[in-house]
Structure 1
Amino acid sequence: MRTDVIVVAAGRGQRAGEGPPKQFRTIGGEMVLRRTLARFAGNPAIRYVLPVIHADDAVPCATAMAGIARIAAPVTGGATRQASVRAGLEALAADPPDLVLIHDAARPFASDELIARAVAAAAEHGAAVPALALTDTVKIVDRDGFSASGPDRAQLRTVQTPQSFRYDLILEAHRAAAGIDHLTDDAAVAEAAGHRVATFPGEVSNVKLTTAEDFVRAEREAALALADIRTATGFDVHAFGEGDHVMLGGIAIPHGFGLSGHSDADVVLHALTDALLGTIGAADIGHHFPPSDPEWKGASSDRFLAHAASLVRAAGGRIAHLDATVICEAPKVGPHREAMRTKIAEIAEIPLARVSVKATTSERLGFTGRREGIAALASATVRLPWTD
């Protein structure tokens, strides 16, 4: 059955404290909304994922969506969650799915197993929600702050998203509920229209990020999930040749000579590329970009580093730090250090604080001391999911 997902991302998240709306904050270096979109877009049972956003959030949403397949063009939500969901449902009407899952952007940890249960429950029942049994006792507290007897815990559940429905059922239910403002979730909308809503097992890990404390816990969990910390090194050297500048760290630096090489001979980016490839055991730069291949003649080395960084991300990893040391008598690296750091961070798609560039001479010893060329040493530290 054709199944689409509406990701509700129009809220302001004021309980999360100062900063941007919570769906545009990061966990483990990755935007919350991007994590959520990727979870569903990467599931083969899903046809399209539709973000519903605030009118002011087109730019950060585009960042979150970049490079993820099967994401529909976002639509603008309303003043309430209910209005936002209806906007998403109406947007799907031109090419309606059979089933629709409705999910909070601030729940970025839904598993493929949970998504499968949601799809199956909607197909079987027409309307269903993930639910968890309570583990704590619930009490009624009177106006004076004293505990009274509570409801029967065995009959109580906490409800999560994705909530799943037959598309035509929930669309008509939302249309019928227009103007009713006390319905807190889509299950309540379906129930108000007279439909019974089934439950299926939720997941404790499928938490909703609401407060600042939630983000602290999520960061801790993200770090634990990337427990395989690896460091590798890279080295490159190129001789001086004809030219009026050298490329170092993606920056053109004026000089009386150029650097000889098949590509643009950027020793810094080459060394960093090898270091990143080493962290995931992916051979070396020559394996991926053979100097015998005319395609890479004169090529900009930012393509090499970007490729290596993408391989780390494809392995589920996160780049923790990149460090490069340039070895030469001239040109002076210091005046260009910050521009190089900025460029490297941009290419690798990591924060500037995770990039270091240093320079030294060889005290006039060796080929660098004789001003015959430039060398670079690099190291890369990445965090990867632990595998045996």
Structure 2
Amino acid sequence: MAALICAAGSGSRAGEGLPKQYRLLDGRPILSASLDLFLNHPAVSLVATVIGADHRALYDAAAAPFAASETLLAPAIGGDSRQASVRAGLEALAEREIDIVLVHDAARPFASAALVDRAIASAFANGGAVPGVAVVDTICEVDRGGGRGATLDRERCRALQTPQAFDYALLRAAHAQAEGAGRADFTDDGALYAWAGHRVVVFEGETENVKLTTPEQFEVFARREAVETLLTLGDVRMGTGFDVHAFGPGDHVILGGVAVPHDFGLSGHSDADVVLHALTDAVLGALGDGDIGAHFPPSDPTWKGADSAKFMADAVARVRARGGVIAHLDVTVIGEAPKVGPHREAMRARIAEICGVALSRVGVKATTTEKLGFAGRREGLAAMASATIRLPLTEDLA
């Protein structure tokens, strides 16, 4: 029993970026999911992958967790079409004693072991087998001009998937026959196998076994992954921070990593960014990990004039080192001037960039003290902040 994973395509329909089979899903390359499925299936003896000629480094990274497996063969180099790539993979297996071969698209990372079981059983019983799912939409033909043609009977239609399973010798011979006949237009091995005169049956597929193809699909699954990550981090914590800096000489202040024009600057050992200092303390407070002065002492000349983004990024890194994420950040600037409103969105964008979170997870507000206190006398600025983080549940909750 051999599994042949097709991963030679460029994935151009998936938009800009890496070929889709090497993009990350659940923190690992999509191809790794298929390798994991077949390498850990008890009925599969060999696993081979067909890759693009210039994809070797990407493949090696995706296959690195399985490098010690004796089941995993060296990758074969594919051709200009899926049909040519499958044939290259079949030929790479020619010296092995194989009864059944499972052909699977690397862009289908959600196939299950139960689906593989059904593919194997159906191939042994019938010689050729492809998974299919029922069609729920009305299906019609269209002419070359886009005009509507006949409506097809959807009860007799199936959307085909992989893994498809075949008698290895017959599929290899069918590919050779197709090449000899000048047929290079098959996008599905079941169609090629049937064209060569062999029986192919359709067994029950899985609706979850989708093929990732378009940019929209990747966006949907990325959002789903983010939500699932949040839901698995059940230790929800909140911290607060407060910071004050006096006005001094200068023509601008730094707020939330953004230079805001003003008649004065802010005095401080670093760049005196009250917004980032308050947010940094809020994150550290949620972690129970001291405060900004403990990690970046004002007595240390290293931090004289430093960009406060370094402090904020360090606090975020500490959250991630604990397996957590930033759920939300909120800050209020306190002072009579300068006005925050015209710079609010730039501040939110910069904070989101530093922390690696979505813009919707950052709030920036401002208020005055009705001319009361040091802020009301325009002697300086203050900021108060809150940070909500999510960490994995641990036994120390008791």
Pairwise TM-score range, normalised by the shorter structure: 0.5 to 0.7
Tell me if structure 2 keeps the 8 A contact 1:99–1:122: yes
Alignment of 1:47-196 (within 5 A): 47-68=45-66, 69=69, 70-142=71-143, 145-178=146-179, 179-196=182-199
Match for 2:16 among 8, 15, 18? Answer: 18
Give the Å deviation of 1:53. Answer: 0.3
Query: In 2, Cα distance between the equivalents of 1:91 and 1:144?
Result: 43
Give the Å deviation of 1:97. Answer: 2.1
Give the Å deviation of 1:196. Answer: 1.0
Query: In 2, Cα distance between the equivalents of 1:94 and 1:114?
Result: 27
What value does the CA root-mean-square deviation take over the aligned residues?
Answer: 3.8
Larger Rg: 2
Q: Which runs of 5+ in 2 are unaligned?
A: 238-286, 326-352, 358-388, 394-398
The match for 1:7 is 5
Query: In 2, Cα distance between the equivalents of 1:332 and 1:197?
Result: 75
Query: In 2, Cα distance between the equivalents of 1:129 and 1:344?
Result: 48
Query: Which residue identity is paired with 1:182?
Result: D
Query: In 2, Cα distance between the equivalents of 1:220 and 1:150?
Result: 36
Query: In 2, Cα distance between the equivalents of 1:332 and 1:62?
Result: 45
Query: Which residue identity is paired with 2:97?
Result: P
- Secondary structure of 1:121's aligned partner: helix
Give the Å deviation of 1:214. Answer: 1.3
Query: Which residue identity is paired with 1:162?
Result: P
C-alpha deviations, 1:163-192, integer Å up to 9, x for none?
001211211111211131121211112112
Give the Å deviation of 1:350. Answer: 12
Query: In 2, Cα distance between the equivalents of 1:35 and 1:328?
Result: 42
Query: Which residue identity is paired with 1:228?
Result: T
Query: Sequence identity of aligned pairs in percent?
Result: 40
Query: In 1, Cα distance between the equivalents of 2:76 and 2:323?
Result: 27
Structure-2-length-normalised TM-score: 0.59
Tell me if structure 2 keeps the 8 A contact 1:53–1:77: yes
Tell me if structure 2 keeps the 8 A contact 1:28–1:223: no
- Secondary structure of 2:65's aligned partner: coil
Alignment of 1:174-253 (within 5 A): 174-178=175-179, 179-223=182-226, 225-226=228-229, 227-231=231-235
**Residues 181 and 143 (structure 1), Cα distance of their counterparts in 2 relative to 1, 3 Å cut:** closer
- Secondary structure of 2:129's aligned partner: strand
Give the Å deviation of 1:213. Answer: 0.8
**Residues 31 and 85 (structure 1), Cα distance of their counterparts in 2 relative to 1, 3 Å cut:** same
**Residues 93 and 142 (structure 1), Cα distance of their counterparts in 2 relative to 1, 3 Å cut:** closer
Give the Å deviation of 1:221. Answer: 3.7
Query: Which residue identity is paired with 1:10?
Result: A
**Residues 225 and 96 (structure 1), Cα distance of their counterparts in 2 relative to 1, 3 Å cut:** farther
**Residues 323 and 84 (structure 1), Cα distance of their counterparts in 2 relative to 1, 3 Å cut:** farther
Query: Which residue identity is paired with 2:57?
Result: V
Tell me if structure 1 keeps the 8 A contact 2:103–2:164: yes
- Secondary structure of 2:176's aligned partner: helix
Query: In 2, Cα distance between the equivalents of 1:97 and 1:27?
Result: 32
Query: In 1, Cα distance between the equivalents of 2:123 and 2:291?
Result: 53
The match for 1:28 is 26
Query: Which residue identity is paired with 2:151?
Result: G
- Secondary structure of 1:199's aligned partner: strand
Tell me if structure 1 keeps the 8 A contact 2:323–2:392: no
**Residues 328 and 216 (structure 1), Cα distance of their counterparts in 2 relative to 1, 3 Å cut:** closer
**Residues 230 and 345 (structure 1), Cα distance of their counterparts in 2 relative to 1, 3 Å cut:** closer
Give the Å deviation of 1:218. Answer: 2.1
- Secondary structure of 2:151's aligned partner: coil
Alignment of 1:320-339 (within 5 A): 327=295
Alignment of 1:362-373 (within 5 A): none
Give the Å deviation of 1:222. Answer: 3.3
Structure-1-length-normalised TM-score: 0.61
The match for 1:381 is 391
Tell me if structure 1 keeps the 8 A contact 2:4–2:49: yes
Query: In 2, Cα distance between the equivalents of 1:45 and 1:324?
Result: 55
The match for 1:269 is none
- Secondary structure of 1:118's aligned partner: helix
Tell me if structure 2 keeps the 8 A contact 1:77–1:87: yes
**Residues 148 and 194 (structure 1), Cα distance of their counterparts in 2 relative to 1, 3 Å cut:** closer
Query: Which residue identity is paired with 2:74?
Result: A
Query: In 1, Cα distance between the equivalents of 2:12 and 2:148?
Result: 30
Query: In 1, Cα distance between the equivalents of 2:109 and 2:22?
Result: 12
Query: In 1, Cα distance between the equivalents of 2:290 and 2:100?
Result: 49
The match for 1:254 is none
- Secondary structure of 1:87's aligned partner: helix
**Residues 149 and 82 (structure 1), Cα distance of their counterparts in 2 relative to 1, 3 Å cut:** closer
Give the Å deviation of 1:29. Answer: 2.4
Query: In 1, Cα distance between the equivalents of 2:148 and 2:34?
Result: 39
C-alpha deviations, 1:296-351, integer Å up to 9, x for none?
xxxxxxxxxxxxxxxxxxxxxxxxxx99986586988869x79999x999999999
The match for 2:267 is none
Match for 1:43 among 21, 27, 41? Answer: 41
Tell me if structure 1 keeps the 8 A contact 2:134–2:155: yes
**Residues 115 and 143 (structure 1), Cα distance of their counterparts in 2 relative to 1, 3 Å cut:** closer
Tell me if structure 2 keeps the 8 A contact 1:96–1:167: no
Give the Å deviation of 1:42. Answer: 2.0
